[in-house]
């Protein structure tokens, strides 16, 4: 059997525009080669594969597509199927049925992630059983019915005005993919309803995402409705696999804006084009310091927290603080940030404790609070909705005293100790009545555990440097 090895974005575009699997087998790309026979022959053929990202298709002896997968490194990933090793029964069955393979090389891991989903839906391979029940796997939703469409993860297609992309195997991969795309298209992910014709819906200053250049500033009126929707239309084209056409159109718009002396608009379009062209140099989709291991579905957790704390809106941003030390030496503090119930790497901070002698968790927590939130107040940045301290009522009291020194604070200052998993709220003597199955408590536990992990990681770095003189 002869297999065609397909490479490049043009190949992927042709694949979808001409009807799927049959085209993948017949049009040319980066090269061809005979790959039938025993696994040893297939392993030899994998040496010709590129070492970049892409999607691969496994076929059986009848030429049927039996598995589609994505890879950060095509050569390494595909060759792993044909190397001698112990395998689980389900993997062994797949490997024994592989007679040849094909691939589509992409410019980035992000594009491989999106292409894999589209090819699985199109080809319906036998061994891609994960996506058969699509209600269990996440989608990317673009809420097109909004004046300023939101972009977020969804679990079902329940809004006829929205556009959906997916489903995808991993919610963690969606998180990373959206993090990369948000840097380029600067879409909003907040839950706020914003009516373009109602000035009351706009804030005086931008949210955290605006200050981090992850949002175009919808909430503070920094971008017009029509311009924002054009930007989101471009995102939809990218998610549909039309990157090349999108770049060409953006270049034309850039040239028009420059000729009309709209230099700011031209510069913004130039930045989007350059980001799309250099996606392979963007942070990859598994960029987060923390593994995506949510204790509950984020949306349900945030709604439960809102209700438990009596907040008017969902608490979108949560920061967690912890302290680590060894017998009073190398005392360090950590701060982790969660957005919409998931870890947000850019918000992580480390603190080497400077003003505390010996082992004093209360004083160390107070120092971190003063340094972190004193600076936020000075710079006029928005406070998080919730600050969570790893500890009990004593640690919470120290944090509350330091927050009073700062002179401002979050909507809720809380603590959560590991043993009892009992949450306390500053200004309240008795614990919050939240059962261990409460999805809001699960979110808090995730934040607390991540702040502890991050503090321990920094502490170990300092100990190693002290021990080995690094």
Query: Which residue among 71, 97, 129 closes a domain?
Result: 129
Q: Could you give the number of structural domains in the chain? A: 3
Residue with more model confidence, 285 or 441: 441
- 101 with 168, same domain: the answer is no
Note whether 335 and 451 are within 8 A (CB): yes
- Measured distance CA(146)–CA(140) in Å, rounded: 16
- Measured distance CA(458)–CA(49) in Å, rounded: 39
User: Band of the pLDDT at 309, cuts 50, 70, 90?
Assistant: very high
- 107 with 232, same domain: the answer is no
- 461 with 314, same domain: the answer is yes
- 305 with 454, same domain: the answer is yes
- 124 with 207, same domain: the answer is no
Residue 374 lies in a domain: yes
Q: For 214-272, what is each residue's pLDDT tens digit?
A: 888 888 888 889 989 999 999 998 888 888 888 888 888 888 888 888 888 888 888 88
Pairing of strands 163-165, 349-352: unpaired
- Measured distance CA(215)–CA(370) in Å, rounded: 28
Give the domain extent around 165: 135-241
In this prediction, residue 28 carries a pLDDT of 29
Query: Which residue among 81, 104, 129 closes a domain?
Result: 129
Angle between helices 171-185 and 225-239 (to 10 degrees): 130
Residue 279 lies in a domain: no
DSSP H or E run through 463: helix 439-468
Residue 282 lies in a domain: no
Note whether 334 and 349 are within 8 A (CB): yes
- Measured distance CA(385)–CA(320) in Å, rounded: 11
- 73 with 142, same domain: the answer is no
- 25 with 99, same domain: the answer is yes
Q: Which of 29-33, 324-328, 332-336 has the lowest mean pLDDT?
A: 29-33
pLDDT more than 90, % of the chain: 23
Contacts of 228 (CB under 8 A, 6+ apart): 148, 149, 216, 218
Cα(first)–Cα(last) distance of the chain, in Å? 56
- 156 with 186, same domain: the answer is yes
Average pLDDT along the chain: 79
- 102 with 190, same domain: the answer is no
- Measured distance CA(356)–CA(190) in Å, rounded: 39
pTM of the model: 0.54
- 62 with 141, same domain: the answer is no
Q: For 375-428, what is each residue's pLDDT tens digit?
A: 988 888 889 999 999 999 999 999 999 999 988 788 999 999 877 788 999 999
Residue 20 lies in a domain: yes
């Amino acid at each position: 059997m002869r297999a065609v090895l397909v490479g490049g974005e043009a190949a992927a575009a042709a694949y979808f525009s001409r009807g799927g699997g049959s085209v993948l087998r017949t049009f040319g790309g980066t090269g061809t080669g005979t790959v039938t026979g025993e696994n040893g022959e297939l392993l030899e053929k994998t040496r010709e594969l590129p070492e970049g990202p892409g999607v691969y298709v496994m076929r059986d002896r009848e030429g049927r597509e039996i598995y589609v997968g994505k890879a950060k490194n095509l050569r390494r990933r595909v060759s792993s199927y044909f190397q001698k090793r112990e395998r689980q029964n389900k993997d062994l069955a797949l490997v024994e049925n592989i007679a040849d393979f094909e691939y589509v090389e992409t410019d980035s891991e992000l594009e491989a992630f999106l292409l894999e989903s589209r090819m699985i839906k199109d080809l319906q391979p036998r061994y891609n059983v994960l996506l058969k029940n699509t209600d269990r796997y996440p989608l990317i939703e673009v809420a097109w019915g909004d004046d300023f469409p939101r972009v977020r993860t969804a679990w079902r297609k329940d809004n006829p005005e929205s556009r959906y992309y997916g489903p995808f195997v991993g919610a963690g991969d969606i998180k990373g993919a959206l993090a990369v795309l948000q840097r380029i298209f600067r879409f909003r992910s907040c839950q706020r309803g914003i009516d373009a014709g109602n000035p009351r819906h706009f804030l005086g200053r931008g949210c955290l995402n605006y200050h981090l250049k992850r949002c175009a500033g919808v909430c503070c009126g920094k971008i017009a409705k029509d311009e924002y929707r054009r930007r989101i239309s471009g995102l939809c084209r990218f998610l549909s696999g039309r990157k090349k056409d999108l770049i060409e159109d953006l270049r034309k718009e850039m040239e028009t804006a420059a000729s009309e002396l709209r230099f700011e608009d031209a510069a913004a379009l130039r930045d989007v084009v350059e980001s799309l062209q250099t996606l392979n140099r963007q942070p990859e989709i598994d960029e987060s310091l923390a593994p995506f291991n949510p204790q509950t579905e984020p949306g349900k957790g945030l709604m439960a927290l809102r209700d438990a704390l009596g907040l008017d809106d969902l608490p979108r941003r949560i920061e967690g603080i912890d302290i680590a030390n060894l017998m009073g030496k190398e005392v360090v503090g950590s701060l982790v940030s969660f957005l919409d119930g998931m870890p947000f790497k850019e918000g992580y901070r480390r603190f080497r404790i400077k003003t505390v002698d010996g082992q004093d968790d209360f004083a160390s927590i107070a120092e971190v609070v003063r340094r972190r939130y004193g600076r936020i107040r000075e710079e006029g940045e928005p406070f998080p909705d919730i600050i969570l301290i790893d500890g009990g009522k004593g640690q919470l009291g120290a944090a509350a005293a330091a927050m009073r020194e700062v002179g401002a604070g979050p909507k809720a200052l809380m603590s959560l100790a590991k043993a009892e998993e009992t949450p306390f709220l500053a200004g309240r003597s008795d614990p919050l009545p939240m059962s261990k199955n409460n999805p809001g408590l699960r979110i808090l536990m995730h934040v607390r555990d991540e702040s502890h992990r991050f503090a321990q990681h920094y502490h170990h770095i300092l100990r190693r440097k002290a021990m080995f003189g690094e």
